[in-house]
């Protein structure tokens, strides 16, 4: 049989002591198919130099005889081949040791004659990754498959008869299809509401499910509503059974939730256990499984469970402006949908109407989750195709894993043996190496500037890595002839000029990014945008990756050299721009702001060209934008210019605000909004007059207690468990109060509070911190002196105005 097939979910099983892969996917006409196949399982033992041919043959013969008994399984070496390979760019002789079961790789490696080997590698390449590398059956890409249909076959223990698929096929031939039509998966979203926020404590009140066909809320609460989407069940157990039944019947390709690895699925599992309900959601009847220890990942065979939160965290968060990564904020920003505002109440206090609203809210969450999924789907599918790892992994992995995997899947053409992941001791060693010097930041001279030009280096760190060939495999332990030398303060680092695979792969990523960006600009589509963006994200992560202790190709010197050469390049560019007679205002890492002065835009672009003609390698400086005005302020303490804090307005009146309190969520809105207004007025009008008037107005409103509570709320994130805090800050104090009221305070939540009035003049802020719903009037002095005035006084200082004098001069002098 021959068919067009797109792989969606990968899993493996053992049959007669050997490994097999089972892949669930779809055919072009929407049939669901399971493919069964296997591939060679092997690892490499890299030989020491100077071993004679006869000695090597002797070693091979010895290894061939290795056999291990693992429980009922007899594991053995199948064959051994001597190979010419590369390891970290060096030619090596390696034994490719084929074994019968990948689970025994480590055990078998332990019984090798280690004294003949420099390294043992590829023990930590998992079977699914190995299969994809070997057989080139890539995730979410269409393939032409030929094979034998298994129909009530005895083969593989009768696997085809338990699988709920249209066909089960044993693969004979795999070919990538020429045509790659868009694949639209069947996606079901779900969400639960519970009596408790702690996993498994208290019942699940309801479960909502949503896809193109299904729109349901399952509940065992007895309320009097005839809404069509509500399905009533006798108890929690019945409801859970119905959940399993509906998911199985609909059988989506993807089941998605928001934070569902961390909450919904673990909760469902805990309650199912309590109620003795089997969560046999897998296409082979297998149960929902969890893996991953500390941060569990819920897996269902054949239906890919995607926790949208995780993907958004790694692939989107750097572009989001949302204050939290909660479903509400993210959906609002990405798809413009707001959740219905429902206020949580303890169950026993809920009225009939509350329950109806709660059910509606629960359904709404699933609907939003599904829409959000469809919005980010182009990014997810492109990530999976580019990194060549299954959706299940790519949707959850962090960027370091993604970079790791991208490299692993691209090493074949370099004939490279894959480096191992670090384990405990190695991680500890790497972490103890300490920090290295990072980016250069120029101290600005505070002031309001007219006509500001901003240049920046395109993908600066990636360009530096490529231009100077910085990586683990190109790093030299000591100086060699004709190498690249980098000054790292008291020491020097050396890199060979012979192109390494890491910079070369990175260059390919950059080129592909350029290619797809161009294609996107010519004919925009979400897929092309996602593809271009995925390459950009991987390129941007490459620098952090080489300095990250968990990376396979970690090389601290390469990371330190990248930062050092970036500094060198930006300083050189600053010098160059200065030499053309421009006044430099500011610079941070890869960007330079300077005054246009009397020069024309044409002259500036000509200078840019000239600078670019002299830059090394692929380094490239580009125009970020021309700005009408920009403002830089001093630090709070005094005279020096504040770094990482400025505001600009371009010729289309679009503002770019960096670092100011306006963009910080741990300041109250009254201060943020005032500061934003002040910056806007000053930048668009070119003076401080109306901004000052506006500021006075707000100050008076605060003094008259005319500000609504909502605008005074300060939000601070709890970054770790309460018990680990050494300092009793206001937000920790409030978190403790919340805990005593029975509200869960897990790390990561945003603590909201305001500062209230108190008779004691000298009390600490934490003693006056109150929950938003408390009634004590707000502390006028605190909001003036600690929020509003600090937010704007540095800005007025630029114009020589001391805000305090102004206020003193007005009638409200009593406060000061």
**What is the phi/psi pair of residue 123, to 5°?**
-70, -25
Rounded to whole angstroms, the Cα distance separating 753 from 760 reads 19
Q: Can you tell me which of 366, 467, 474, 716 binds DNA, judged by CB under 7 A?
A: 716
Torsion of CA 173, 177, 181, 187, to 10 degrees: 30
Select from 24-32, 234-242, 346-354, 436-444 the region that touches DNA (CB under 7 A): 436-444
Alpha carbon distances (Å) from 417 to 50, 95, 464, 503, 691:
20, 11, 26, 17, 64
Closest approach of DNA to the CB of residue 135, in Å: 26
**Contact between 349 and DNA per CB under 7 A:** no
Which residues from 392-411 bind DNA, rule CB under 7 A?
A: 398-401
- State how far the Cα of 415 lies from the Cα of 397, in Å rounded to an integer: 26
Q: Which of residues 222-251 bind DNA (CB under 7 A)?
A: none
Q: Nearest CA to 463 among 380, 392, 569, 553?
A: 569
Q: CB of 682: closest distance to DNA in angstroms?
A: 17
What residues numbered 468-527 form the site for DNA, per CB under 7 A? none
Tell me: does residue 435 bind DNA (CB under 7 A).
Answer: yes
Cα dist. 371→188, 206, 376, 443, 760 in Å? 10, 21, 9, 45, 52
- The stretch near DNA (CB under 7 A) out of 195-203, 304-312, 509-517, 719-727 is 719-727
For residue 806, the minimal CB distance to DNA (Å) is 19
Q: Which residues have a Cβ under 8 Å from the Cβ of 755 and sit 6 or more positions away?
A: 712, 714, 730, 765, 768, 769, 770, 778, 779, 782, 783, 786
Q: Is 28 an interacting residue with respect to DNA (CB under 7 A)? A: no
Choose the stretch contacting DNA; rule: CB under 7 A; options: 90-98, 255-263, 434-442, 798-806.
434-442
**Shortest CB 636 distance to DNA, Å:** 4
Two tokens at 445?
Answer: 């001279």
CB atoms within 10 A of CB 295: 9
Nearer to DNA, 22 or 629 (CB): 629
Stretch that binds DNA, among 155-163, 225-233, 629-637, 682-690 (CB under 7 A): 629-637
- Chain position carrying tokens 């999976």: 384
In whole angstroms, the minimum distance from the beta carbon of 658 to DNA comes to 4
Residue 76's nearest CA partner among 103, 115, 58 is: 103
Residue 545 as a binder of DNA (CB under 7 A): the answer is yes
Helix (H, G, I), strand (E, B) or coil at 792: helix
- Under 8 Å between Cβ of 385 and 7: no
Q: Mark the segment that binds DNA (CB under 7 A) among 225-233, 343-351, 609-617, 663-671.
A: 663-671
Q: Which of 178, 249, 276, 294 binds DNA (CB under 7 A)?
A: 294
Q: Looking at 308, 715, 756, 795, which residue binds DNA (CB under 7 A)? A: 715
Could you tell me which residues are beta bridge partners of residue 271?
A: none
Contact status, residue 676 vs residue 657, Cβ threshold 8 Å:
yes
Among 12, 197, 549, 799, binds DNA (CB under 7 A): 549
Quick one: 76 or 672, whose CB is closer to DNA?
Answer: 672
| Least spacing, CB of residue 672 vs DNA, in Å | 10
CA–CA gap between residue 26 and residue 254 (Å, rounded)? 12
3-state secondary structure of 487: strand
According to CB under 7 A, which residues from 739 to 778 bind DNA? 750, 762, 764-767
Window of 136-144, 167-175, 523-531, 712-720 that interacts with DNA by CB under 7 A: 712-720
Cα(704)–Cα(113) distance, integer angstroms? 83
Q: Which residue in the set 729, 749, 797, 799 belongs to the binding site for DNA (CB under 7 A)? A: 729
Which of 1, 640, 743, 815 is in the footprint of DNA by CB under 7 A?
640
Q: How far is the CB of 724 from DNA (least distance, A)?
A: 7
Tell me the window of 23-31, 42-50, 62-70, 289-297 that interacts with DNA (CB under 7 A): 289-297
Rank residues 170 and 645 by Cβ distance to DNA and give the closer one.
645
Q: What is the rounded CA–CA span in Å between residue 716 and residue 714? A: 7
Q: Which residues in 93-122 contact DNA (CB under 7 A)?
A: none
HSE at residue 96, side-chain half, CA atoms within 13 A, is: 13
Q: Which is nearer to DNA, 430 or 599 (CB)?
A: 430
Q: Which position among 183, 259, 436, 580 is part of the footprint of DNA (CB under 7 A)?
A: 436
Contact between 637 and DNA per CB under 7 A: yes
Q: Is the dihedral of CA 751, 757, 758, 761 positive or negative?
A: positive
String of contacts with DNA for each residue 329-348, x by CB under 7 A:
--------------------
What is the rounded distance in angstroms from the CA atom of residue 353 to the CA atom of residue 221? 13
The site for DNA, by CB under 7 A, has a size of 71
Q: Considering the complex, what minimum distance in angstroms separates the CB of residue 432 from DNA?
A: 12
- In the complex with DNA, which residue's Cβ is closer, 434 or 800? 434
Beta-bridge partners for 168: 34
- Are 687 and 629 spatial neighbours (Cβ–Cβ below 8 Å)? no
Residues 559-588 that bind DNA (CB under 7 A): 559, 563, 588
CB neighbourhood size of 648 (10 A) = 24
Among 158, 292, 616, 777, binds DNA (CB under 7 A): 292
Phi-psi region of 117 (alpha: psi -120 to 50; beta: other; left: phi over 0): beta
User: Residue 441 interacts with DNA (CB under 7 A)?
Assistant: yes
- Tell me the C-alpha distance between 205 and 223, whole Å: 12
Rounded to whole angstroms, the Cα distance separating 756 from 782 reads 9
Q: Which of 275, 332, 591, 595 binds DNA (CB under 7 A)?
A: 591
Q: Looking at 720, 760, 775, 811, which residue binds DNA (CB under 7 A)?
A: 720
User: How many CB atoms sit inside 10 A of residue 151's CB?
Assistant: 9
| Interacting positions 792-811 with DNA (CB under 7 A) | 794
Among residues 323 and 504, whose Cβ is nearest to DNA? 323
- Least distance between DNA and beta carbon 244 (Å): 29
> What's the rounded Cα separation, in Å, for the pair 809 and 699?
14
By CB under 7 A, which span of 83-91, 412-420, 505-513, 662-670 interacts with DNA?
Answer: 662-670
Cβ at position 378, least distance to DNA in Å: 21
**β-bridge mates for residue 207, sequence order:** 192, 218
Nearest-approach distance from CB 292 to DNA, in angstroms? 6
Tokens of 352: 């009939």
Interface with DNA, residue 658, by CB under 7 A: yes
Q: Which of 230, 367, 718, 745 binds DNA (CB under 7 A)?
A: 718
Residue from the set 548, 594, 632, 783 that interacts with DNA by CB under 7 A: 548
Task: Report the candidate in 183, 211, 530 with the shortest Cα–Cα distance to residue 375.
Answer: 530
Q: Could you say which of 717, 737, 797, 812 contacts DNA (CB under 7 A)? A: 717
Q: Does position 719 bind DNA by CB under 7 A?
A: yes
Residue 667 φ/ψ, nearest 5 degrees: -120, 150
State how far the Cα of 624 lies from the Cα of 454, in Å rounded to an integer: 5
């Amino acid at each position: 049989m021959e068919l067009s097939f797109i792989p969606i979910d990968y899993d493996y099983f053992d049959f007669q002591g050997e490994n097999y892969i089972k892949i669930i996917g779809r055919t072009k006409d929407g049939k669901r198919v399971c493919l069964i196949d296997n591939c060679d399982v092997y690892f490499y033992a890299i030989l020491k130099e100077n071993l004679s041919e006869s000695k090597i043959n002797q070693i091979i013969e010895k290894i061939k005889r290795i056999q291990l008994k693992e429980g009922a399984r007899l594991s053995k070496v199948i064959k051994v081949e001597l190979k010419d390979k590369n390891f970290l760019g060096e030619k090596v002789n390696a034994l490719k040791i084929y074994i019968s079961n990948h689970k025994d790789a480590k055990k078998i490696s332990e019984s090798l004659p280690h004294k003949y080997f420099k390294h043992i590698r590829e023990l930590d390449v998992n079977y699914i990754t190995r299969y994809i590398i070997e057989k080139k059956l890539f995730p979410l890409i269409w393939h032409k498959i030929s094979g034998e249909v298994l129909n009530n076959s005895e083969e593989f223990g009768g696997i085809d008869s338990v699988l709920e698929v249209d066909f089960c096929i044993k693969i004979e031939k795999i070919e990538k299809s020429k045509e790659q039509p868009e694949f639209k998966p069947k996606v079901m979203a779900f969400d639960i509401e519970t009596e408790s926020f702690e996993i498994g404590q208290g019942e699940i009140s309801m479960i909502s499910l949503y896809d193109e066909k299904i729109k349901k809320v399952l509940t065992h609460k007895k309320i009097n509503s005839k809404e069509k989407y509500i399905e009533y069940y006798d108890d929690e157990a019945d409801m859970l059974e119905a959940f399993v039944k509906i998911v199985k019947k609909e059988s989506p390709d993807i089941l998605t939730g928001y934070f569902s690895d961390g909450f919904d699925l673990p909760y469902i599992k805990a309650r199912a256990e309590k109620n003795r309900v089997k969560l046999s959601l897998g296409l082979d009847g297998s149960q929902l499984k969890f893996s991953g220890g500390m941060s569990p990942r819920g897996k269902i065979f054949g239906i890919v469970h995607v926790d949208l939160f995780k993907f958004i965290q790694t692939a989107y968060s750097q572009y989001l402006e949302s204050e939290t990564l909660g479903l509400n904020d993210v959906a609002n920003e990405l798809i413009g949908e707001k959740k219905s505002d429902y206020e949580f109440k303890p169950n026993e206090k809920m009225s009939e109407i509350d329950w109806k609203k709660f059910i509606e809210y629960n359904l709404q969450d699933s609907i939003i989750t599904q829409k959000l999924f469809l919005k980010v789907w182009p990014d997810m599918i492109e990530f999976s195709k580019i990194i060549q790892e299954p959706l299940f992994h790519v949707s959850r992995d962090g960027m370091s894993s993604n970079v790791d995997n991208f490299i692993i899947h691209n090493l074949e053409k370099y004939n490279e043996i894959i480096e191992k992941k670090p384990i405990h001791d190695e991680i500890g060693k790497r972490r103890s190496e300490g920090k290295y010097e990072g980016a250069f930041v120029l101290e600005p001279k505070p002031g309001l500037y007219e006509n500001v030009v901003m240049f920046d280096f395109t993908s600066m760190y990636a360009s530096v890595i490529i231009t100077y060939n910085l990586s683990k495999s190109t790093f030299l332990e000591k100086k060699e002839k004709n190498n690249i030398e980098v000054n790292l303060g008291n020491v020097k680092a050396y890199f060979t000029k012979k192109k390494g695979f890491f910079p070369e792969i990175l260059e390919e990523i950059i080129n592909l990014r350029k290619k797809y960006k161009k294609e996107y600009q010519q004919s925009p589509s979400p897929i092309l945008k996602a593809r271009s963006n995925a390459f950009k994200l991987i390129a941007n992560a490459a620098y952090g990756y080489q300095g990250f202790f968990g990376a396979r190709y970690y090389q601290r010197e390469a990371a330190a050299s990248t930062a050092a050469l970036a500094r060198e390049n930006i300083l050189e560019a600053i010098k160059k721009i200065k030499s053309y007679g421009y006044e430099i205002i500011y610079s941070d890492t890869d960007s330079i702001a300077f005054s246009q002065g009397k020069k024309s835009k044409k002259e500036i672009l000509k200078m840019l060209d000239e600078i670019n003609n002299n830059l090394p390698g692929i380094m490239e400086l580009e125009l970020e934008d021309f700005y009408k005005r920009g403002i830089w302020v001093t630090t709070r303490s005094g005279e020096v210019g504040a770094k990482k804090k400025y505001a600009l307005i371009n010729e289309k009146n679009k503002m770019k605000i960096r670092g100011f309190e306006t963009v910080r969520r741990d300041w109250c809105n009254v201060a943020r909004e005032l500061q934003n207004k002040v910056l806007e007025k000053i930048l668009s009008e070119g003076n401080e007059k109306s901004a000052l008037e506006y500021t006075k107005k707000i100050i008076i409103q605060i003094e008259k207690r005319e500000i609504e509570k909502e605008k005074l709320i300060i939000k601070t994130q709890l970054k770790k468990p309460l018990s680990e805090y050494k300092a009793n800050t206001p937000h920790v104090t409030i978190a403790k109060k919340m805990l005593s009221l029975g509200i869960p305070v897990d790390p990561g939540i945003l603590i909201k509070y305001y500062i209230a009035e108190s008779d004691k003049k000298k009390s600490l802020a934490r003693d006056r911190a109150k929950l938003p719903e408390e009634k004590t009037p707000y502390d006028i002095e605190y909001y003036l002196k600690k929020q509003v005035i600090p937010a704007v006084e540095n800005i007025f200082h630029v114009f020589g105005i001391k805000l305090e004098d102004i206020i003193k001069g007005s009638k409200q002098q009593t406060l000061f």
